[in-house]
């Protein structure tokens, strides 16, 4: 046991920090710091900068751009990126469809898709959830029926994040409705968003933003070669996709940065001529959150430092659960620091209300999503109770 990073790892961290703070356009980092929405072009530009430096897909197999890093290096890469306000490479590309194609795709699929996926020349979106298949994903009904050399897709996906920017969607589709176990009749299919019969309808969220969509498929034909891996094995690939990610599950860097910002704002806001930061209740709340976050970060470090046999460390299951809770608590803290200004979300230029206070409440409301998507916190508790505690 030892607390210090090895000299090599410390140097690695310095290298990452320098890169992220000097090579990614300042305007993009400022946009992230101000918690404004990024444009499609800003995501693409960032990912291309990262990819050119070999920093977009370090966890992929080496022949497709991977770096063979240790989990600890990947953790540092991810944390430094968040601390530097660099938008991480698009998760749908680099953490989801990319690794699945790399692990289970054909050689042609790898050659066709992996390089543009790493470079965000193709923007992917995730077509898993359906109106009646949320937590119970395996009950999905969107069907793909074989017709000659094509699959014909019918059905509906929903909650499709940033589908409005996407070139392609990777879907779970039912290819064997007669399978005895519903998990067994599902395949992993790649569909171009501009295929005839694909339509997208925006969903407005409670913060007024548009980041998710419904996607409808009406007799959409895609060639048979767009099916990844084996027919009816899609559930295994989805489990691989959702389960293999141990790094970056807990948004520690993001929350750390938000807490740092919160402290700055609290120092600026005055109550009866005193900075709000001196209010003992607020100070105690911040200290408690920082300590919770410390405990989480240390747990994340224990998980990544423990790389022995490739099996996930059981404690990794607390990362998403606690990580999203703390992220939500930090967004709530910022609203409370904004206080009476927190209602002025729609104020425009010329308002006395600073930008951070205007975005505070919409952002707080928006981050209620974090405990719902990517395996809700109830699903996380089910995993802890079931797989770890044997209950």
Partner 1 sequence: MDFDYDDEQAALREAVSGLLGRAYTGEHRRTVTAAEPGFDEKTWARLAEMGVLGLPFAEDDGGMGAGPVEVAIVAEEIGRVLAPEPFVEVVVLAGGLVAAVGTPAQRGEVLAAIAEGGCVAAVAHAEPGTRWSPSARDVRATRDGDGWRLAGVKEPVVQGARADLLVVSAVLPGGGTGLFLVRPDAEGPARTGYRTHDGGRAARIELTGTPAELLGDDADADRTAAVERAQAEARIAYGHEAVGAMDTALRTTAQYLRTRKQFGVPLARFQSLTFRTADMYVSLELARSTALWATLVQDAGGDVVRAADRARLQTSRAGRHIGHEAIQLHGGIGMTAEYTIGHYTSRLTAIDHLLGDGDFALARLAAVTGGYETVDPLGAPYTGG
Of 72 and 329, which has the nearer Cβ to partner 1?
329
Q: How is residue 208 annotated by DSSP? A: S
- The gap from C-alpha 343 to its chain's centroid, in whole angstroms, comes to 28
Q: How would you classify residue 217: left for phi > 0, otherwise alpha for psi between -120 and 50, otherwise beta?
A: beta
Q: Closest approach of Cβ 193 to partner 1, in Å?
A: 21
Q: Residue 204, interface with ligand FAD (CB under 6 A)?
A: no
Q: Closest approach of Cβ 376 to ligand FAD, in Å?
A: 3
Task: Report d(CA 175, CA 146) in Å as an integer.
Answer: 8
Q: How would you classify residue 348: left for phi > 0, otherwise alpha for psi between -120 and 50, otherwise beta?
A: beta
Q: Regarding beta strands 168-174 and 186-192, do their DSSP bridges make them parallel or antiparallel, or are they unpaired?
A: antiparallel
Instruction: Kindly tell me which residue out of 119, 161, 316, 331 binds ligand FAD, with binding defined by CB under 6 A.
Output: 161
Q: Residue 372, interface with ligand FAD (CB under 6 A)?
A: yes
* Tokens found for residue 62: 């080496």
Residues 125-144 within binding reach of ligand FAD (CB under 6 A) = 126, 128-129, 134-135
Q: Closest approach of Cβ 238 to partner 1, in Å?
A: 17
Q: Residue 389, interface with partner 1 (CB under 8 A)?
A: no
> Of these partners, ligand FAD, partner 1, none, which one is at the site of residue 242 (CB under 5 to 8 Å by kind)?
none
Q: Residue 288, interface with partner 1 (CB under 8 A)?
A: no
Residues in the chain: 391
Question: In sequence order, what are the beta bridge partners of 21?
Answer: none
Of 66 and 134, which has the nearer Cβ to ligand FAD?
134
The answer to whether 252 and 79 have CB atoms below 8 angstroms apart is yes
Task: Report d(CA 141, CA 138) in Å as an integer.
Answer: 9
Name, in order, each residue with C-beta under 8 angstroms of 308's C-beta and a sequence gap of 6 or more. none
Region binding ligand FAD by CB under 6 A among candidate stretches 109-117, 121-129, 281-289, 323-331: 121-129
Q: Residue 14, interface with partner 1 (CB under 8 A)?
A: no
Question: Maximum distance among all alpha carbons in the chain?
Answer: 76
Task: Report d(CA 90, CA 354) in Å as an integer.
Answer: 30
> Of these partners, ligand FAD, partner 1, none, which one is at the site of residue 342 (CB under 5 to 8 Å by kind)?
partner 1
Of 227 and 269, which has the nearer Cβ to partner 1?
269
Task: Report d(CA 310, CA 11) in Å as an integer.
Answer: 25
The catalytically annotated residue of 218, 245, 297, 332 is: 245
> Of these partners, ligand FAD, partner 1, none, which one is at the site of residue 160 (CB under 5 to 8 Å by kind)?
ligand FAD
Q: Residue 66, interface with ligand FAD (CB under 6 A)?
A: no
Region binding ligand FAD by CB under 6 A among candidate stretches 159-167, 231-239, 249-257, 267-275: 159-167
Task: Report d(CA 345, CA 366) in Å as an integer.
Answer: 13
Q: Which residue is nearest to ligand FAD (CB)?
A: 134
* Tokens found for residue 121: 């020349």
Q: Residue 282, interface with partner 1 (CB under 8 A)?
A: yes
Q: Residue 205, interface with partner 1 (CB under 8 A)?
A: yes
Asked about 270 being catalytic, the answer comes back as no
| Residues forming the site for ligand FAD (CB under 6 A) | 126, 128-129, 134-135, 159-161, 212, 369, 372-373, 376, 378-379, 382
């Amino acid at each position: 046991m030892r607390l210090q990073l090895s000299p090599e790892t410390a140097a690695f961290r310095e290298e990452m920090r320098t890169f992220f703070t000097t090579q990614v356009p300042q305007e993009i980092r400022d946009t992230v710091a101000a918690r404004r929405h990024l444009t499609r072009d800003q995501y693409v530009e960032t990912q291309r900068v990262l990819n050119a430096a070999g920093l977009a897909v370090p966890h992929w197999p080496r022949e497709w751009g991977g770096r063979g890093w240790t989990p600890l290096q990947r953790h540092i890469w991810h944390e430094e990126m968040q601390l530097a306000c660099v938008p991480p490479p698009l998760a749908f590309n680099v953490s989801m469809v990319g690794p699945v194609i790399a692990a289970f795709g054909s050689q042609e699929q790898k050659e066709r898709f992996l390089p543009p996926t790493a470079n965000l020349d193709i923007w992917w979106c995730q077509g898993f959830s359906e109106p009646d298949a949320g937590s119970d994903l395996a009950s999905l009904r969107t069907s793909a029926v074989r017709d000659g050399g094509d699959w014909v897709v019918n059905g509906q996906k929903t909650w499709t994040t940033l589908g409005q920017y996407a070139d392609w969607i990777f879907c779970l589709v039912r290819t064997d409705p007669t399978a005895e176990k519903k998990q067994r009749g599902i395949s992993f299919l790649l569909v171009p968003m501009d295929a005839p019969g694909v339509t997208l309808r925006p969903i407005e969220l409670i913060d007024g933003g548009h980041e998710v969509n419904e996607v409808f498929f009406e007799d959409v034909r895609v060639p048979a070669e767009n099916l990844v891996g084996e027919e009816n094995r899609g559930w295994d690939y989805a489990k691989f996709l959702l389960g293999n990610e141990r790094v970056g599950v807990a948004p520690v860097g993001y929350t750390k940065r938000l807490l740092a910002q919160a402290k700055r704002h609290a120092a600026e806001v005055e109550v009866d001529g005193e900075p709000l930061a001196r209010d003992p209740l607020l100070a105690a709340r911040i200290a408690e959150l920082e300590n919770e976050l410390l405990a989480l970060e240390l747990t994340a470090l224990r998980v990544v430092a423990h790389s022995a046999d490739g099996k996930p460390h059981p404690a990794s299951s607390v990362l998403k659960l606690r990580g999203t809770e703390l992220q939500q608590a930090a967004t709530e803290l910022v609203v409370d620091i904004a206080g009476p200004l927190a209602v002025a979300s729609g104020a425009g230029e010329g308002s006395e209300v600073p930008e951070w206070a205007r975005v505070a409440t919409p952002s707080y409301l928006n981050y209620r999503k974090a405990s719902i998507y990517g395996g809700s916190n109830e699903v996380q508790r089910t995993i802890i109770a079931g797989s770890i505690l044997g209950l």
